[in-house]
Amino acid sequence: MKTVVENTLPEKLLLAASHLEESGQSPFSAEALIVSAWQKYPQTFGLRGYEDKYPDSNRVLSQIMGEKGLPNRGWMAKVGQKMYALTRDGRQVVRKLLQGEEVPPLTSKRAAPLERLPKEVDILLQAQLCSSALAKLRQGRQEEWTFAEACRFWGLGDRTGQAVDARLDEVQSQLGLAEKILANGPQTLGNGVEVSAAQAGQLADLHHQLEQRFGRHLNLLRSRTSYG
C-alpha cells in the first residue's frame, strides 16, 4: 500500500487541495493552497531552513502555473483570478491515493478547456440564487412560499396554456445542464457570485418542490389560453 511519504509532490498538492474543498473552500485561492500544502506537508512545502515556520510559496506556485502546472495536466481547473478547483479526474486521483491504489504518472497533456455555463443558464442561476423562494427554503420557512414567488423563481411571467409546461421543462433542462457543467468545478456568474454543482442541485430540488406545492395553481394556468 502506498504511504503518504511515497506520494509525489503533485500528489501531495492534490491532497492538500482536496482538504480545502472538504472544508468548504471550493473554489480555493492560490494562497489558501500554499498554506494548506505547507500545514499538511511542512517538510515538502516549507521554506528551506525554516520548514516549521514559513511556507515556500514558489514550491506550490510552480506546480499550478505554466505549461507543467496541474491545471494544464487535467487534475485542477483555473476558475478565476488565482482561483482553482479540482476536476473530476483530480478527485478520482484523490480517491485512489486515499485508498492506497496506484496512480498513473501525471502526463504533460494540456487539459481540455473548462466548459462555461451558457448565457441563458448563467442568467437563470443569478435570478434563482437571490430568489425569495430559495431564501425561505434555507431559513426553513417553506410553508410561507407563495405562488407569486414560485412564478418569479421559474421566470414564468404571464405564460398560460402550453407555454407553462414549455417554460417549466426549459428550467428543468437548464438546471440539469448547470449541474453537469459545474461538476467539473464551480464557476463565477455574470454578477460575480460563485456557484457550485451542489447549489445547482439544490435549485433543481427546489424547482420540483415548488411544482408539487403549487400543482393546482399551475393547472389553472394550463387551462387558460393566451386570450383568456
For residue 43, give the CATH number of its domain: 1.10.10
Distance CA(173)–CA(165), nearest Å, equals: 12
Q: Cell 420540483 identifies what position?
A: 208
Domain residue limits at 68: 4-98
pLDDT value, residue 78: 79
CB under 8 Å, gap of 24 or more: what pairs does 40-47 form? 40/12, 40/15, 40/16, 41/12, 41/16, 44/9, 44/12, 45/12, 45/13, 45/16
Of residues 167 and 50, the one with the higher pLDDT is: 167
Task: Tell me the pLDDT band of 108, cut-offs 50, 70 and 90.
Answer: very low
pTM: 0.53
Task: Kindly tell me if the per-residue pLDDT of 218 is higher than 70.
Answer: yes
Q: Flag whether 131 is in a domain.
A: yes
Residues 82, 137 within the same domain: no
Residue 111 counted as domain residue:
no
Report the DSSP pairing between strands 83-86 and 50-55: unpaired
Band (79; pLDDT cuts 50, 70, 90): confident
- What Å distances lie between residue 177 and 116, 167, 216, CA to CA? 11, 15, 28
Reply yes or no on whether the pLDDT at 2 is more than 60.
Answer: no
Packing angle of the helix pair 197-213, 147-154 (nearest 10 deg): 140
Q: How many domains does the chain have?
A: 2
Based on the domain organization, do 90 and 144 belong to the same domain? no
Q: Give the chain's mean pLDDT.
A: 86
